[in-house]
Amino acid sequence: MQRLTAGRYGAVIRALEGIRNRQALTVMLGGFLLVAIVAGLGSGLGAWAASPSLAVGLNLLALILAASVVNAAGLALMDAARGENERGFIQLLSGGAGCLVRFLAIIALALLSYAAFLLLAAALLWMCRIPILGPVLLTILVPALVLGAALLLLGLTVAVSMIAPALWSGRSIREAVRELVDIAGHRPLEVLVSLILLGVLLGLIGSVASLLVLAGSTSIGGLAAGILSEAPIVGLGASDLPVASPALAVAGSIGFLLVLALLFGMLGVIQMNGLCHIYLQASEGAEPDADDNGGEARPTVRRVRIVETAADPWEELPNTQQGPTPPGARGDTHATCPACEATVEEGDRFCGDCGCPLEPLAPPPKESP
């Protein structure tokens, strides 16, 4: 298990960088605006036409569209966190829809696992009906099952939070689950503390932003209700006042949902960017052990830093114990005098500088044809 240090939680602070990602903000806010319009139309038209099925259908469409938009923004944030090139908006939306399908499959697996735990708990509690043994067994089972359910819910919450950025990075369901198991075995406490700190950060920002939006909506809502309503304001809230026409009711619903879309869009970008950085920091070296075809484990590549050493100065000193070097023995282009190392020409019998006698140079060996 990794030691807890302050430097390991820089990913939480980097979550605020999500509001600087123009592509993710455009996808998130633009998509949420469209979702708000669809949901507003569903609520307004359903109430005006007295058709609950119309309201349910449009709200369901808005929910699917919102989930696809969230995954598309997650793809853009993951690309930015990994330093990859930006995708087109069509690619983001199609990729977000694909991630949504895989994410729903993960949610289904999580729900099935919790349902299996509840079935096991029900079977164990049924055994408590046995006389004499039942009370003793129930005394042991109650704390065990309560703690087990709490830990399972915590694990599933952390797993779903880390599965989402794994899918945004291009992992399949099998690779994402395998990598999540590896992270849980090596860095569970680091990921848990990071998610808690991210939740605290989002809670602070969301509380301040919600208070400001609530104050603005209360004042503007009361003013709009007083101007557009048919009844005078007599101690009634803005939502209780009837408006002059159904069109104004639909427009007011859409306008308020647009405000909520902007608020939750900004908070969602910050949260998803934090999840991306937490995942990337936790998954360092947590590559899948084998490929999808059941092949052998991938070798671990270790980076070795090569340190260049300085040349030994003693190796450059001349060796005075050896005799004079005959001309041409050093492999130079020109022959040199063995005494003063002056350059001599081929065929000279004496050195022109010191007069030292020179030995005739051996002719080079003839190459065989």
CA atoms within 13 A on the CB side of 247: 0
Provide the pLDDT confidence category of residue 334 given band limits of 50, 70 and 90.
low
Q: Give the total number of structural domains in the chain.
A: 2
78 shares a domain with 210: yes
CA 50 – CA 181 distance, rounded (Å)? 50
- Are 335 and 272 found together in one domain? no
Distance CA 337, CA 329 (A): 11
Shared domain for 253 and 333, answered yes or no, is: no
- Looking at the domain assignment, is residue 224 inside a domain? yes
Q: Side-chain half-sphere of 173: how many Cα atoms within 13 Å?
A: 13
Residue 333 is given by DSSP the state S
Q: Cα 223–229–231 angle (5° rounding)?
A: 115
Q: Could you tell me if residue 356 is inside a domain?
A: yes
Cα separation, 38 vs 36, whole angstroms: 5
Give the pair of three-digit tokens for residue 3. Answer: 């030691």
Residues 206, 345, single domain; the answer is no
Q: Is residue 319 part of a domain?
A: no
Q: In the predicted model, what is the mean pLDDT of residues 330-359? A: 70
Residue 57 within any structural domain of the chain: yes
pLDDT(236) > 50:
no
How far apart are alpha carbons 156 and 109 in whole angstroms?
A: 10
Q: Is residue 354 part of a domain?
A: yes
Does residue 301 fall inside a structural domain? no
The answer to whether the Cα torsion of 226, 231, 237, 239 is positive or negative is: negative
Q: Determine which of 68-77, 221-230, 259-268, 288-297 has the lowest per-residue pLDDT on average.
A: 288-297
- Is residue 302 included in any domain, yes or no? no
Domain shared by 66 and 213, yes or no: yes
Do residues 28 and 122 both lie within one domain? yes
List the domain range (segments joined by +) for residue 154: 10-232+241-282
What's the pLDDT tens digit per position in 192-226? 888 899 999 999 998 998 898 888 878 877 777 76
Q: What is the amino acid identity at position 4?
A: L
User: For the segment 37-92, what is each residue's pLDDT rounded down to a tens digit?
Assistant: 777 777 666 666 666 777 777 778 888 888 888 888 889 999 888 888 888 888 88
Q: Closest Cα partner for 103 from 48, 57, 45, 165?
A: 165
Q: Are residues 120 and 199 in the same domain?
A: yes
Under DSSP, is residue 3 helix (H, G, I), strand (E, B) or coil? coil
Query: Do 20 and 142 reside in the same domain of the chain?
Result: yes
- Among candidates 52, 81, 280, 251, which has minimal Cα distance to 179? 280
Model confidence, pTM: 0.61
Helix (H) or strand (E) holding 335: strand 335-336
Give yes or no: residues 47 and 176 share one domain.
yes
Whether residue 268 is found in the same domain as residue 334 = no
On whether the CB atoms of residues 265 and 29 are closer than 8 A, the answer is yes
Instruction: Identify which of 251, 248, 229, 247 has the alpha carbon closest to the alpha carbon of residue 238.
Output: 229
